[in-house]
Amino acid sequence: MKLESVTPETIKEISNRELTNLHWRIHQLWAQKKYKKMNVKVLKSAHTIVIDEMKVRGLNHVEDAMKKMTSKLETYLESLD
């Protein structure tokens, strides 16, 4: 599933394994700084939707560094305006 197509509706259609893999992929993109080549909002939105669905399904998700880093990045980007 492409990150741009992740919505609360589309995410319900994938298996737990696919959901977990998608979550892992989002973290890989973040760790590899691939988000610079894509819209940060798309990455953050996909991550939020994925973790919300993981919670609905009872899958384990720990609050993570990506969420904190995203917040810091948003603050920085807002300071540039």
- For the chain, 81 residues long, give each residue's pLDDT as a single digit of tens: 888 899 999 999 999 999 989 998 888 887 776 666 667 788 889 999 999 999 899 987 766 556 666 666 667 667 765
Number of residues assigned to the chain: 81
Helix (H) or strand (E) holding 62: none
Kindly report each contact of residues 33-42 with a partner whose C-beta sits within 8 Å and lies 24 or more positions away, as own/partner: 38/3, 40/70, 40/73, 40/74, 40/77, 42/3, 42/4
